Amino acid sequence: MAFDFGGISSSVKMKEVGKYKAIDPIVINHLIKGQPYYIILLNILPDARQKKLLKADLDNRGIYSYIAMVAVNVEYNPEKLKSGLVNFMETYKSPWRDYLNYEGQHCSGIMTFGPALYAVIKTASDINVTDFYASDFTRSYIYLGHGYCGDYDTYVVPVDKVEDVYPYNDVNPAVYKTWRTRFFLKQLKVLKDSNKWMPDLTEPILKVLKTEEECSQVLKEHMNFAAVAYDTETTGLDTYLDHVGCLTITWDGITGYYMPWDKVNKRLLVFNLQSCKKRITQNGKYDLKIMWNNSMTPHTGYPTDDTMQLSHAINSDRSRGLKAQAFYNTFMGGYDGVLDLFKKKTKVSNYCAIPVEILSKYAILDAIVTFRSYFVMIALLEEIDRKFPNDKLPDWPLKRWYEQVMMPVYSDFIDMEFRGTCIDLDAQRAAQRYYEEKAADLRKQMADAWGVKPSFKFESTKELGKLFQSLGWPAVELAKDGSYKTSDSVLNEYIRQGRPGIELLQKYRSIKVFINTFVGKGIDSLEFEEAEESPFGEGLLADMKKEKPETLRDDDDFEDDRGWNAYIRNLPDGQARMFQSYLVNGTTSYRNIGKNPNLQQVPVHDPDAKPILRVLSVPWLEEYTIETDDGRVFTGVADDFLDTNQGKLRFDQIQEDTIINDYWKEN
């Protein structure tokens, strides 16, 4: 564990010692005994002008008892410190935490300027000041308890960094206020407000179950509850290939349970989830798909609510991950700090490889934070509807849109992602061969046009720039280092000038995009690997293969993760599919957008794109043969119907105890 020596942490590397000038971090000490007081935590040491303005603004807003301090005890240039701010804040931390208690009183709130927020929450990836701008729709502050990212038990009110709150105006120094300054002034009122919202401070109860009997007993005891929140920890992010390590679940947001997945009765779990009125998840699409692929009955346990979706419905511009929501909606922000430290030190990415004593606390709190966040946000949603009624469509408040549009379609997307998109592997191999031959031919033509070998690095913009310069072409646009640029706009200008080979280069780039973004490379790829030297004298495929066979991708263990190759999965029935994912209403304008891969951006207008479209296929026809106890045989496809004792049923709905009368005939 690092210790402080002379105000500098022992974790400082030798090369850092003496790099920064030590400062007195206390800027203004205006603490008044017996009065509520605040910590004003600055990101940098303000100059005399900024200090004077800060003091005046605090006085004007009636904040008289406070201490203004810099979060670090050294002077530094923020422009030169573009990364590693969290470590920097911790390494050179000032003693501001010593003032959380003063003369028998506890600090009433902390105002953080810019990255000084990271000194408090010890992370820069979860939340930042921009998440608090939309204060009409979301709370512009957080409450931190103790035992998680620190021992605070107070409010934190973020504002922008000092240099943005009090910027310089070279034309008229007296006029300096910007919208960030006005946001700061508004936040001062929030800081002083004694009626701020406070999260539920009930401490969570964490229970780790170990046996199948324990898990089943808990599931049986919690049937028909009003709400349940569940989460999983897995070996990876691939919902088709990876495995579930544990299930964490809570029915009240207070007591949470850790259940090893191999000890969970999946049938009983489904009964429990289906019995609860509300099923709450955080990014439930992922959890359901991987549980369905790991022994849980598919198409069961759909969430009625998802906190990621709910957070996005409230404010599409702020972070919506669970770590962020822990800060927004609970007192447990930063609850995953120990886990993050373990991951950082061990480099482990497989959560199931993390010791249970470390993983279980984090995993159970995932479910508890999800549960609590839902009820906090649904109340906030109702408040928004009261404050900002929908004048144009009064019958459609935000809550109704979330419950009746966003969440129902969310379940549809879970099914769509789980089913995936069928891939014709023969068509993919044909497309790969077609594009590689096309690329090789274009390389040959460009080589002839510009007097170089086909092995020239046509993909390198820098090498192309040098080539165009050597050909005596004028520079259309220069990079910072003085080299020729070869962007699309530059190429269009060269076409206007009548320069040879440019249209070939544009087509070559398109073909390379088709390979690297869509069809990938095949096991019999003939394109050579990049080498320090370019030994190829000819550029056609056959010549390349003959001349440099050891560079070809033709080994038995060939794997290529370019394009769709990274997402294609071979199913046990012999079919191949891609299991793409979608951000449901996920853009700032609430459109749906695909990813991993994005099948909404498959090219259709380019004539050379047709081989790509042929790769996307349809599922094989599911044929059923059903034989009854009396020897009758019925054949049909999944969507054909039979007349049964249960009425009209599809072939894929027939069970062992179904009594079949005959094929279904419309009356």
The total domain count for the chain is 3
Residues 228 and 178 in one domain: no
At residue 538, does pLDDT exceed 50?
no
At residue 531, does pLDDT exceed 60?
no
Q: Using the 3D structure, point to which of 372, 390, 405 is the last residue of a domain.
A: 405
Q: What is the pLDDT of residue 543?
A: 37
User: Is pLDDT larger for residue 501 or for residue 620?
Assistant: 501
At residue 537, does pLDDT exceed 70?
no
Task: State mean pLDDT over 381-399.
Answer: 95
Domain presence at residue 48: yes
Residues 19 and 143 in one domain: yes
Domain presence at residue 323: yes
Domain presence at residue 377: yes
Q: What is the pLDDT of residue 634?
A: 85
Residues 303 and 184 in one domain: no
Structure confidence by residue, pLDDT tens digits, 160-203: 999 999 998 876 777 788 999 999 999 999 999 999 999 999 99
| Three-state DSSP class for residue 171 | coil
Q: How does residue 621 score in pLDDT terms, banded at 50, 70 and 90?
A: low
Lowest mean pLDDT among 26-30, 230-234, 424-428, 646-650: 646-650
Q: What is the pLDDT of residue 18?
A: 57
Write the CB contacts of 266 (distance below 8 Å, at least 6 apart in sequence): 295, 296, 297
Q: What is the pLDDT of residue 628?
A: 84
Amino acid making up residue 265: N
Residues 377 and 288 in one domain: yes
- Domain region containing 62: 12-192
User: Is pLDDT larger for residue 226 or for residue 640?
Assistant: 226
Q: Using the 3D structure, point to which of 372, 405, 438 is the last residue of a domain.
A: 405
CATH at residue 247: 3.30.420.10
Structure confidence by residue, pLDDT tens digits, 112-123: 999 999 999 998
Domain presence at residue 197: no
Q: How does residue 641 score in pLDDT terms, banded at 50, 70 and 90?
A: confident
Q: Indicate whether this model's pTM tops 0.85.
A: no
Residues 160 and 245 in one domain: no
At residue 500, does pLDDT exceed 70?
yes
* Cα distance between residue 240 and residue 608, in whole Å: 32
Task: State mean pLDDT over 599-627.
Answer: 86
At residue 529, does pLDDT exceed 80?
no
* Cα distance between residue 577 and residue 301, in whole Å: 24
Residues 130 and 23 in one domain: yes
Residues 176 and 238 in one domain: no
Task: State mean pLDDT over 92-121.
Answer: 95
Domain presence at residue 549: no
Torsion of CA 354, 356, 361, 366, to 10 degrees: 60
At residue 550, does pLDDT exceed 70?
no
Question: How many Cα atoms occupy the beta-carbon half-sphere of 295 within 13 Å?
Answer: 14
Contact 514, 603 (CB under 8 A): yes
* Cα distance between residue 608 and residue 443, in whole Å: 17
Give ∠ CA 378-380-386 in degrees, rounded to 5: 110
Q: What is the pLDDT of residue 560?
A: 61
Percent residues over pLDDT 90 in the chain: 72
Residues 391 and 260 in one domain: yes
CATH at residue 44: 3.40.470
Q: What is the pLDDT of residue 555?
A: 32
| Phi, psi torsion values for 57, nearest 5 degrees | -65, -40
* Cα distance between residue 436 and residue 425, in whole Å: 16
Task: State mean pLDDT over 323-341.
Answer: 93
Parallel, antiparallel or unpaired: strands 38-42 and 110-113: parallel
Residues 51 and 169 in one domain: yes
With 0-12 / 13-18 / 19 or more C-beta atoms within 10 angstroms meaning exposed / middle / buried, residue 264 is buried
Residues 188 and 278 in one domain: no
Q: What single-letter DSSP state applies at residue 403?
A: I
Domain presence at residue 462: no
User: Is pLDDT larger for residue 92 or for residue 637?
Assistant: 92
Mean pLDDT of the chain: 88
Structure confidence by residue, pLDDT tens digits, 287-311: 999 999 999 999 999 999 999 999 9
Structure confidence by residue, pLDDT tens digits, 437-493: 999 999 999 999 999 999 999 999 999 999 999 999 999 999 999 999 999 999 999
Domain presence at residue 608: no
Q: How does residue 9 score in pLDDT terms, banded at 50, 70 and 90?
A: very low
Residues 276 and 326 in one domain: yes
Q: Using the 3D structure, point to which of 405, 425, 444 is the last residue of a domain.
A: 405
Domain presence at residue 273: yes
Helix axes 307-314, 322-329, angle to 10 degrees: 60
Residues 160 and 238 in one domain: no
